[in-house]
Amino acid sequence: MPEAASAAAVRATIGASEFDRDTAVTRRAPGVYDLDLSAGWTIINAVNGGYLLAVLGRALGDALPHPDPFTISAHYLTASRPGPAVVRTETVRTGRTLSTGQASLFQYDDEGNEVERIRVLASYGDLDALPDDVRTSAKPPVIPPMDQCFGPEDGPAPVEGSSAITDRLMLKLDPATLGWALGQPSGRGEMRAWFGLADGRDADPLSLLLAVDALPPTAFELGLKGWVPTVELTAHVRCRPAPGPLRVAITTRNLAGGFLEEDAEVWDSADRLVAQSRQLARVRLG
Amino acid sequence: MPEAASAAAVRATIGASEFDRDTAVTRRAPGVYDLDLSAGWTIINAVNGGYLLAVLGRALGDALPHPDPFTISAHYLTASRPGPAVVRTETVRTGRTLSTGQASLFQYDDEGNEVERIRVLASYGDLDALPDDVRTSAKPPVIPPMDQCFGPEDGPAPVEGSSAITDRLMLKLDPATLGWALGQPSGRGEMRAWFGLADGRDADPLSLLLAVDALPPTAFELGLKGWVPTVELTAHVRCRPAPGPLRVAITTRNLAGGFLEEDAEVWDSADRLVAQSRQLARVRLG
């Protein structure tokens, strides 16, 4: 048996990893893609919204003339379930620098009728074609070294329900934002973590769409429990990420009227701000 | 002549103001609305993106079972011009608390063919039905009193081109974010202002869609000149605004690769964070 086949020693690569296989789509006809939503990306029994966004992002990347999602806005309509699905895309406009597309993910009801799960609008471009000017005033989040941070494997799962996604992520939370797991939420709407894929696959624009919605919700640190379903999430991918772990910081400034916004910033190992997102989510005040 | 008819003394009201007339849509058929884009809301010769968003927001508010835009994402495709237009809406999903719709605004080319200008996805709800819990950590922006702030009427227009919109807005910029107008941009991606409609009409959810895109671009304070076209803008309306002037703060953290994000917060006179937005815009580095 060749040395490279020793599972623990093999780092997965972009294009040949579990994330790539589980977000793969098969073109059935122009703009129509079949796929199977994996049960491996569930969080508290629900299919993770960032994983779903990556699936739609992959289909649009195939359908549009530009490869990379620059800005993608998703409205979540009904709860997705692991299993067969179809994505239908529409090319809205093609330009020299950007093209715009729309996509919907459908599953099937008991009679086999299509039920729409998510609809997205997105503008795509080519990250590699951008000039390399950077005039950002943002600073990377300050997170302790990875070995001083904590993941789901470091303690009993604090949340009920199957969360298969935790096996597929390298997620190490800043202890300063872990009060919720000890029954002592900080009251601040902040969560910070080191983020990667557990099999060592490096980040790319599609996995950034996963990264923006993969941390425990800020609502936990605000003292809320239970499900915080996303109504809408918009992500901007600003740069192709360098190899190595990402840092993700999410922030909520306004919890009001049963809704909250959650802003995410994703930084790569080269200290580039590679993605930003904002979502509107509903909260159950308990 | 009755006293109230003295023009200067009459405050316009919600539903009977220039903004309401200029965003009015006429239902031609279910989900199809005719309208005329007013030349009164141009900025540097372009139709203001927030005004366009308000027009689409009004059409969707008629088409959907819920009245208020909770989250609306717009992708700007081609430049709109003053004149006739049609909005076509689609009801994507209706639920008890939220309904989701899509809308596109079209104009006509020389042969009379429809050309799509903007496409939006939006989820609507009823702001008046929300519980009044507020657990926000955000603080209103600190802006000097209005009489210490400056509007377009206080100096020569620093930007070339027709900007009819300035006659219709009450816009008073914080002097701390006015360096660009004096040829001394601060280098910080910040702009703050008091905001209202010039005819005294109070704010409502639709005029908040205007407010989030009505200030001079943060790019000016970053030392850039010229046009900063919006690729995509998503706005969340979080609360029905109280009467009185609004405070708007916009911020850019990441100017890179020829793109920037611009975040807006809108606060009402009761110190409620009533709207948040983020847009991705292209910059011309000059």
Predicted local confidence at residue B3, as pLDDT: 43
- Write out pLDDT tens, residues A265-283: 999 999 999 999 999 999 9
pLDDT category, B2, cuts 50, 70, 90? very low
Question: Stretch A140-153: mean pLDDT, rounded?
Answer: 93
| Contact assessment for residue B22 and residue B39, using Cβ atoms and an 8 Å cutoff | no
Q: Give the torsion sign (CA, A135, A141, A144, A149).
A: negative
Instruction: Give strand pairing partners of A46.
Output: A43
Co-location of B151 and B276 in the same domain:
yes
Instruction: Say yes or no: A118 and A207 in one domain.
Output: no
Indicate whether A4 pLDDT > 50.
no
Q: Between β-strands B83-94 and B99-108, what pairing exists: parallel, antiparallel or unpaired?
A: antiparallel
**pLDDT grade for B4, boundaries at 50, 70 and 90:** very low
- Shortest Cα distance from B257 to chain A (angstroms)? 5
What pLDDT does residue B136 have? 84
Q: How far is CA B123 from the centre of its chain?
A: 17
Could you say which of A127, A154, A170 is where a domain stops?
A127
What integer pLDDT is reported at residue B265 of this predicted model? 98
Q: What is the pLDDT of residues A75-87, one digit of tens each?
A: 999 999 999 999 9
Nearest neighbour of B71 by CB, restricted to A98, A137, A280? A280
Confidence of residue A44 (pLDDT cuts 50, 70, 90): confident
Whether B179 and B214 have beta carbons less than 8 Å apart is answered as no
| Yes or no, beta carbons of A75 and B122 under 8 Å apart | yes
Average confidence (pLDDT) over A146-170: 80
pLDDT bracket for residue A3 (50, 70, 90) = very low
* Residue A212 identity (one-letter amino acid): V
Q: Within an 8 Å CB–CB cutoff, is residue A229 touching chain B?
A: no
By C-alpha distance, which of B132, B168, B137 is closest to B153?
B168
Say whether both A184 and A109 belong to one domain.
Answer: no
Compare CB distances from A222 to B130, B135, B239 and report the shortest one's residue.
Answer: B135
What pLDDT sits at residue A16? 94
Q: Residue B284: pLDDT above 90?
A: no
CATH number for the domain spanning A36: value is 2.40.160.210
Same domain, A111 and A177: no
Q: Please determine, for residue B44, whether its predicted confidence score (pLDDT) is greater than 90.
A: no
Predicted pLDDT at A5: 44
Last residue within a domain, chosen from A127, A158, A174: A127
The mean per-residue pLDDT over the stretch B14-35 comes to 97
On whether both B109 and B224 belong to a single domain, the answer is no
pLDDT band at A226 (very low <50, low <70, confident <90, very high): confident
Asked if B102 and B155 sit in the same domain, the reply is no
> Which of A68, A75, A91, A262 would you mutate first to test chain B, the one with the most B CBs within 10 A?
A75
Q: Answer whether A130 sits within 8 Å of B238, measured CB to CB.
A: no
Are residue A236 and residue A202 in the same domain, yes or no? yes
Question: Is B257 contained in some domain?
Answer: yes
Q: Does residue A180 share a domain with residue A113?
A: no
Judge if B28 and B90 occupy the same domain: yes
Bigger pLDDT: A43 vs A58? A58
DSSP-derived letter for residue A61 is H
What number of other Cβ atoms are within 10 A of residue A16's Cβ? 10
Considering the domain architecture, whether residues A262 and A155 belong to the same structural domain is answered as yes
Report yes or no: B93 at the A interface, CB cutoff 8 Å: yes
Question: What percent of chain B shows pLDDT beyond 70?
Answer: 94
- Shortest Cα distance, chain B CAs vs residue A208, angstroms: 17
Using the 3D structure, point to which of B94, B127, B160 is the last residue of a domain.
B127
Pairs of CB atoms within 8 A across A/B: 172
Q: What is the mean pLDDT of chain A?
A: 92
Mean pLDDT of chain B: 92
Do B150 and B245 share a structural domain?
Answer: yes
For residue A236, give the nearest of A122, A96, A118 by alpha carbon: A122
Is there a domain that residue A189 lies in? yes
* Cβ-contact B48, B76 below 8 angstroms: no
- Tell me the residue range of the domain where B34 lies: 11-127
B159-183 tens-digit pLDDT:
555 678 989 999 999 999 999 988 9
Give the number of domains in chain A: 2
Digit-coded pLDDT (tens) for B105-118: 999 999 999 999 99
Is the minimum CB–CB distance between A234 and chain B shorter than 8 Å? yes
pLDDT band at A161 (very low <50, low <70, confident <90, very high): low
